[in-house]
Amino acid sequence: MGVPLLDLKAHHEPLHKEIMAALEHTFQSNAFILGPAVEKLEERIATYCQAKYGIGVTSGTDALLLALMALGVGAGDEVMTSPYSFFATAGVVARLGAKPVLVDIDATTFNIDPSRIEHAITSKTKAIIPVHLYGQCADMAPIMELARRHNLSVIEDAAQAIGAEYRDGRRACSMGTVGCLSFFPSKNLGCLGDGGMAVTNDPGLAERMKILRVHGSQPKYYHKLIGGNFRLDTIQAAVLNVKLNYLDGWTKRRQENANRYQSLFQQSGLLQKGRVRLPEEIYRGSGVKHYHIYNQFVLRVDNRNDLIAHLKSKGIGSEIYYPVPFHLQECFRYLGYKEGDFPESERAANETIAIPIYPELTAAQQAEVVEAIASFYS
Ligand SMILES: *Cc1c(COP(=O)(O)O)cnc(C)c1O
């Protein structure tokens, strides 16, 4: 029958009327730039993330860019992150003329390995961007400790991790200097296009980001700073104000689906044979509810590329997040890295595959996915 990687039709169908009403309301208002819907969303998302301020922006990428701009990162500065993430994480650093400095990931979580950070800090280091990849927080305690000691800013790339909790119950975006969210449709809270938000507890930084979001103008047409147009569309905020009411329910279903995969893969014998390794939930059992919010459910597998072809022939959606680590990207050749520099990232890029985990996925569909994988290895 086939199973898609993501089913936005099934996701939005129950909300059809509510979303249409929000769109209609915005259309009738003829107020399309910022305004009450954006402000309401900013307050709600900040609260959801256990932080004080939210600044609605055009995309997750622009949230990262805006955060770096507000922190004054530019030419000559170094910003540290891991090589294994979506391109935007390092792209924004380079676009500002700063240098992305890469640090390998932890093999279990796929997140930046804190034990490798200090070694890479120089007098030029300005910030660290830990990515909470797939929906599980990076190990923030040692990262924040290093940042304090070396006077660095920390920008959480929480594009895949809205609401994810660290072992102490603190949520993504509340721990670093700034947290960045994406509302791209495939994220856990997605809008009907592009959108994002920068979240912070620092009032001065929040103010700076708000000004930079409108070309650095304050008051209107007087520019102390050079910013850009980074505004979140009012119509997207209106949709997100509806969808946010359902986010906890969706997260719960993603976690239930992850649990069901655990038992299905156990029963399949694939784990015992070492063909497949499941994601590990390292904060589970520490008393937090959102120990992993499963934006993606990512396996390590044997013979990955042939498995993908097999799944495709059975109509089962999968994806590689991400096939090429930053240090091997053509555009970053000038950074001088080479193959072998970040072995864990390279191994992850070669071994991993994301399978369907979306909230509307049924038990029967999950059984079909696991059977298809089992049939490949039998
Ligand atoms: C999606 C994503 C981004 C970029 O968000 P956009 O809204 O697509 O610009 C940045 N970092 C990570 C880890 C992401 O997954």
pLDDT of residue 198: 98
Closest CA to 251 of 366, 136, 127, 94: 136
- Three-state DSSP at 182 gives strand
Report the alpha-carbon distance of residue 89 to residue 235 in Å, rounded: 26
Q: What's the confidence (pLDDT) of residue 216?
A: 96
- Of 323, 276, 179, 257, the C-alpha closest to 5 is 257
Atom of ligand 1 nearest to the CA of 182: 7
Just give the CATH number of 247-377.
3.90.1150.10
- What pLDDT does residue 125 have? 98
The domain made up of 8-103+111-245 has a fold known as Aspartate Aminotransferase; domain 2 (3.40.640)
Whether the upstream peptide bond of residue 283 has omega within 30° of 0, thus cis, is: no
Are the beta carbons of 299 and 279 closer than 8 angstroms?
A: yes
What are 81's strand-pairing partners? 102, 129
Asked if residue 325 has a cis previous peptide bond (ω within 30° of 0), the answer is: no
Predicted local confidence at residue 1, as pLDDT: 86
Q: Is 180 in the pocket of ligand 1 (CB under 6 A)?
A: no
Q: Name the pTM for this structure.
A: 0.98
Residue 184 beta carbon below 6 angstroms from any ligand 1 atom: yes
Cα(172)–Cα(158) distance, integer angstroms: 6
- Give the total residue count for the chain: 378
Residue 375 Cα to ligand 1 middle (Å): 34
Boundaries of every domain in the chain: 8-103+111-245, 247-377
Tens place of pLDDT per residue across the chain (378 aa): 899 999 999 999 999 999 999 999 999 999 999 999 999 999 999 999 999 999 999 999 999 999 999 999 999 999 999 999 999 999 999 999 999 999 999 999 999 999 999 999 999 999 999 999 999 999 999 999 999 999 999 999 999 999 999 999 999 999 999 999 999 999 999 999 999 999 999 999 999 999 999 999 999 999 989 999 999 999 999 999 999 999 999 999 999 999 999 999 999 999 999 999 999 999 999 999 999 999 999 999 999 999 999 999 999 999 999 999 999 999 999 999 999 999 999 999 999 999 999 999 999 999 999 999 999 999
Note the helical H segments in the chain.
Answer: 8-12, 16-29, 36-48, 60-70, 88-95, 117-120, 140-150, 203-213, 234-243, 247-268, 304-313, 343-351, 363-377
Q: Which residue, by CA, sits nearest to atom 5 of ligand 1?
A: 60
How many whole angstroms from 322 Cα to the centroid of ligand 1?
A: 12
Residue 170: CB atoms within 10 Å: 17
Q: In what order do the strands lie in the sheet with 153-157?
A: 53-57, 196-200, 178-182, 153-157, 125-129, 78-81, 99-102
Give the residue whose CA is nearest to atom 1 of ligand 1: 159
Q: Are the CB atoms for 27 and 150 separated by under 8 Å?
A: no
pLDDT score for 53: 98
The ligand 1 atom at the shortest distance from the C-alpha of residue 196 is: 7
Is the C-beta atom of 156 inside 6 A of ligand 1? no
Do the domains 8-103+111-245 and 247-377 sit in the same CATH topology, yes or no?
A: no
Q: What is the pLDDT of residue 278?
A: 98
Cβ proximity of 147 and 153 under 8 Å: yes
Q: Which of 58, 61, 109 to mutate to test the pocket of ligand 1 (most atoms within 8 A of CB)?
A: 61
Question: Helix, strand, or coil here: 124?
Answer: coil
Say if ligand 1 is within 6 A of residue 136 CB: no
* CB of 157 closer than 6 angstroms to any ligand 1 atom: yes
Residue 206 is predicted with a pLDDT of 98
Backbone angles phi, psi at 167, to 5 degrees: -60, -25
3-state SS assignment for residue 349: helix
Following DSSP, what letter does each residue of 238-288 receive, concatenated?
HHHHHHGGGHHHHHHHHHHHHHHHHHHHHHHTTTTTTSEE----TTTTTT-
